[in-house]
Structure 1
Amino acid sequence: MQQESARRSNRDRTETTRADLIAAARKLFTEKSYAETGTPEIVAAAGVTRGALYHHFADKQALFAAVVEQEAAAVAREIDRASPPSLSARDALIASSDAYLTAMRAPGRTRLLLLDGPAVLGRTAMDAIDNRHGNRSLREGLVAAMRTQSMKRLPPEALTALLAAAFDRAALAIEAGASGEDYRAVLTALIDGLSRA
């Protein structure tokens, strides 16, 4: 019993240390950027040693990948929450696109996922992360819409990639001050156009 409690305690400490490192890194990466953030700052902000950092992550890039993965998962949760099964396929796609744009307004998220992510991790790694999270939700919505005949049947992978790029471009433009309503209107028109195609 005592041994199990000690294992659980060690596991809890390990998970806490990892979470503290990710939280501290996220804050610094969004405030300063990946390139301008050093590991000494991260460990100081997390209140851990450099040894703890390297116990959990191979290097700063691996820690950054964990931050990006966590952010992408958070966006996907928002998308999934906004599109319950009770919505029609078209309405779910519209609700999901709105949820994506809203989720991307979290401070620093566009920098992490759309700017630093591809630059630091590379396009292939970012595509893999996106495909596990937000693009997975988008692809599922598109396949559902094609299945119900409300949308023209197109290659789902290509369609997902191109629509995801449009959503990403909209998020960057909105963060830079463009009208969110204008971009929402265009994204809705794109989805409706696919439905009528």
Structure 2
Amino acid sequence: MDRYQKVEKPKPESPINEYEIRITSQGLVRNYINYANTLLQERHGKEIVLKAMGQAISKAVAIAEIIKRRMPILHQDTAISSVSITDVWEPIEEGLLPVEQTRHVSVISITLSTQELNKNSAGYQAPSEVEQMKPRYNNYQPQLQQQSPRQTRAVYYAGNEDSYGRGRGRGIGRGRGWSRGGYGNYQENGGYSNWGRENGGYSNR
């Protein structure tokens, strides 16, 4: 295409809605964000629509994420489409004919609304506040279920140690010939002869 030059055609301008923001690759991000905040907060708009095409799509997505971080209550619905653009090239040398090229350009439309949007839409995203609350609630109950068995076992063993654990009192338990934890050769039954295990250490008198 060295022997051709592109013909600049005026772009057809469609009317812009009051709460519509068209994002271009040359525009500043902070200007778009400030204008979006003006529409939603100062003018109390219920929803805004961000539109971009081609190389400006990534910028539109980034702007939408920044706006949602500042206003976590916003619902989002994203739609993607394409448009056909025909470019005309005229020759700069004699003997050549004009050339037309048709290209398809992607278009994105991001709706941010303070009210609930269509949840069945493929591009719907719930507010970030709702998404953050779900994992917190789901992880809360298993922690309670895991703590209760540990607390029960701790109380149970503590009671056993106080009653029959060490058996090192300052009284007759330290006399010579007496083993630790009981008397004589009756360690198997807790240190007391003829005291059954099934009765908790007490005889059937």
More helix by share: 1
Measured against the shorter chain, the TM-score band is under 0.3
More strand by share: 2
Structure 2 length normalisation: TM-score? 0.25
Structure 1 length normalisation: TM-score? 0.25
- Greater RCO structure (CA 8 Å; 6+ sep): 1
